[in-house]
């Protein structure tokens, strides 16, 4: 089983528009309301593909209750932790050319007691878990080292920990030596202070994260695919996208597929890329099901360090 922890979950409303013009009145196309948050999306992707998962979610207010209702309707196995604040709402504007504009609320602060309750909830279910995925942004006033502290607790219970976050929280988490980190291109650049313009830059930055404490690094590179960097191997994989509808949750789908396939080597990278590519072709933050996933379209091989990355990566 894979446990997911989302400290800053959300209600995600995605609105599809032809094009976004600042200051104009725009007629919307379709709209979708989905449960959101990186760990939540990982659990949703796993459920859609019949992989056992449990989501640990702090929630509060009317938005939090609506979030729990949506997840219950989807059949998500979850442990909910009531908190004093109100769960945030996010808005995504998806244009027909694939451009995505996101407006994310900061979320609600969690007290030290609430954080302890959340950690205890994870540990209570950990006896049957292979992985804990701790992911997403941190709520306001939550210390940057919270993922590092949680990682130490979970690893001490014999559970592999995957971290998917950014900024100071990512850097702090490396001190706890997580088994896996999954940054995107921008997060790689921010964490290492190195511009990522070629595949070689991405590989070098991933190796730097390993030197700082990460085990395996799975780095998503948008339209340029992903690189997987371990102690002794590097793989690069790509998968063409027939139609880009929404990139929301694509990285979460990649992490879910990678873990579902065993979190090791070329086979897991193929699965992660196939799930992520399928997610990009779906509206809102819908997660792909088996009918959406095309593993045969994924190409994995040796990385060419001179390969330039696309400007929109």
CA dist 219 and 304 (Å) reads 15
| Residue of 12, 108, 105, 1 lying closest to 56 (CA atoms) | 1
Token representation of residue 145: 């080292």
CA dist 241 and 194 (Å) reads 28
Asked if 46 and 78 touch (Cβ cutoff 8 Å), the reply is no
SS3 content of the chain, % helix, strand, coil (to 5): 40, 25, 35
CA dist 272 and 260 (Å) reads 8
Q: Judging by DSSP bridges, how do beta strands 100-104 and 88-95 pair with one another?
A: antiparallel
Token representation of residue 312: 């929109």
C-alpha distance from residue 42 to each of 33, 103, 148, 156, 207 (Å): 17, 21, 20, 23, 25
Active site amino acids? 252
């Amino acid at each position: 089983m894979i446990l997911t922890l989302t400290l800053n979950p959300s209600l995600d409303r995605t609105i599809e528009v032809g094009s976004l013009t600042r200051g104009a009145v725009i007629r919307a196309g379709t709209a979708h309301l989905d449960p959101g948050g990186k760990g939540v999306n990982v659990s949703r992707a796993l459920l859609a593909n019949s992989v056992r998962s449990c989501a640990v979610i702090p929630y509060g207010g009317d938005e939090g209750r609506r979030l729990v209702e949506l997840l219950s309707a989807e059949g998500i196995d979850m442990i909910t932790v009531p908190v004093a604040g109100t769960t945030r709402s996010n808005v995504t504007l998806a244009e027909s050319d694939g451009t995505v504009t996101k407006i994310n609320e900061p979320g609600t602060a969690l007290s030290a007691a609430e954080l302890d309750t959340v950690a205890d909830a994870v540990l209570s279910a950990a006896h049957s878990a292979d992985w804990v995925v701790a992911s997403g942004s941190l709520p306001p006033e939550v210390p940057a080292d919270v993922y590092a502290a949680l990682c130490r607790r979970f690893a001490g219970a014999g559970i592999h920990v995957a971290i998917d976050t950014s900024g100071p929280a990512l850097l702090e988490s490396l001190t706890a030596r997580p088994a896996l980190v999954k940054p995107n291109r921008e997060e790689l650049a921010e964490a290492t202070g190195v511009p990522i313009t070629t595949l070689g830059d991405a590989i070098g930055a991933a190796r730097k994260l390993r030197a700082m404490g990460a085990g395996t690094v799975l780095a998503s590179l948008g339209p340029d695919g992903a690189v997987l960097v371990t102690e002794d191997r590097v793989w690069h994989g790509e998968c063409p996208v027939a139609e880009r509808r929404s990139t929301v949750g694509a990285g979460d789908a990649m992490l879910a597929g990678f873990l579902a396939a065993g979190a090791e080597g070329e086979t897991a990278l193929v699965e992660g890329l196939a799930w992520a590519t399928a997610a990009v072709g779906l509206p809102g933050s819908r997660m792909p099901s088996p009918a959406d996933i095309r593993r045969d379209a994924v190409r994995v091989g040796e990385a060419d360090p001179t390969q330039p990355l696309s400007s929109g990566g």
